[in-house]
Homo-oligomer: A and B are copies of this chain.
Amino acid sequence: MLIVMKPDATQADIDRVIGIIEKLGFRGHTMPGENRTAIGITGNKGAVDPTHFENLPGVADAIRVTKPYKLISNDLRPEKSSIKVGNAFIGDGSLAMIAGPCAVESEEQVFKVAEIVAASGAKFFRGGAFKPRTSPYAFQGKGEDGLKILAQVRDQFGLNIVTEAMDERGVDLVVKYGDCIQIGARNMQNFSLLKYVGQTRKPVLLKRGLSATLDELLLAAEYIMSEGNYDVILCERGIRTFADHARNTLDISIVPAIRRVSHLPVIIDPSHASGHNYMVEPLARAGVAVGADGLIIEVHPCPEEALCDGAQALTPEQYSDLIVGVKSLHSTITKTTTTQPELQTA
């Protein structure tokens, strides 16, 4: 914490600030400048609340310095975490492909996609049984019946199941039928839910909220980890901005930014980020190029008949093309960087 005094602050103002710092058990360091005095605080173990100072007479600003996270930090664990999801890994240097329909609609639809996904070499299958929809009148998912279909996909195709839970009952069911609990963007700061999944021992795919800062995303992961579940995979899926040519703005710069401070793996969701079929492949390529650990892609056997988000789903043919492209890109990057991409960017 750094307290910046106003140019006209009196010595009494400065002494008052120092007094409060000492009352809190810390030490204040006065630095008189040309125009104004600044006061540094040391001795604190975590972040100090700026509140204590911001409205005191003579104080111009109180600036946080220490970051409030611990477990996500590569100060604690310098090498990247490799997370086991079912029988495969995310964050081990390979490109994790998670593919499937937006929503589980029927056994037939799901199996058609699963066959293609398995054939492409992907190890993870996505599909929603619980759908967070903006309108209460939109299709809300098939619930436990949908999860049972997904469990069949695992049995038959050997794919590991990534699927969303929206509440505690949903978490219990995903723990029972799936391999990885997805927390959606709209629940990224549903702290009760984060604590609950933190008490399970299933890996968690945590999607960035629509207006979440880097720190908020990392602290949401910290919520899960502070309950004892260390298997968290972060996911960038686009943020909300003024730009209207895509449904959201894919913020690829968060990948190197996460690498710089955290050991957690991060994947990219070009389908939800763009909302448009024609953008998915170029954004997927960009995600691989920026150094993401994987991609999550929506595929539908017949997008124009999808019950949910059909505009962004790839056809099976488009998905197969995409796979060829991103694999060769990933292999080029791995070759041209002497070390892992993420170290390159640190």
Contacts and interface: CB of A to CB of B under 8 A. Distances in A.
A105 to B, nearest CB: 13
A244 interface: yes
Interface in A163-193: 166-168, 170, 186-187, 189-193
Contact of A241 (B69, B242, B257, B278): B242
A219 B134 contact: yes
Query: Looking at chain A's contact residues, is the secondary structure mostly helix, strand, loop, or mixed?
Result: mixed
Contacts of A213: 242-245
B336 A136 contact: no
Contacts of A168: 167-168
Nearest to A221: B136
A119 interface: no
Interface residues of A, number: 120
Given A252-B286, A256-B282, A303-B55, A49 B219 contact: no
Contacts of A289: 282, 285-286, 288-290, 329
How many copies of this chain are found per oligomer? 4
A121 interface: no
Interface string A327-346: 01100110111000100111
A289 B282 CA distance: 7
A166 to B, nearest CB: 5
A116 interface: no
Contacts of A137: 46, 68, 70, 226
Contacts of A87: none
Interface stretch (A31-39, A92-100, A147-155): A31-39
A320 interface: no
Interface in A6-52: 6-8, 20, 29, 31-36, 38, 40, 42-47, 49-52
Interface in A243-290: 243-246, 249-257, 260, 273-274, 276-279, 281-283, 285-290
Contacts of A47: 135
A192 B214 contact: no
A51 B313 CA distance: 10
A240 B211 contact: yes
Contacts of A324: 336
11 contacts: A7-B75, A33-B44, A55-B304, A68-B137, A134-B216, A166-B190, A190-B193, A211-B211, A242-B242, A243-B253, A286-B287
Interface of A: 2, 4, 6-8, 20, 29, 31-36, 38, 40, 42-47, 49-56, 61, 63, 65-66, 68-70, 75, 132-138, 166-168, 170, 186-187, 189-193, 195, 210-211, 213-216, 219, 222-223, 226, 239-246, 249-257, 260, 273-274, 276-279, 281-283, 285-291, 303-306, 309-311, 324-325, 328-329, 332-333, 335-337, 341, 344-346
A-B pairs with the 3 shortest C-beta distances?
A51-B310, A289-B289, A211-B211
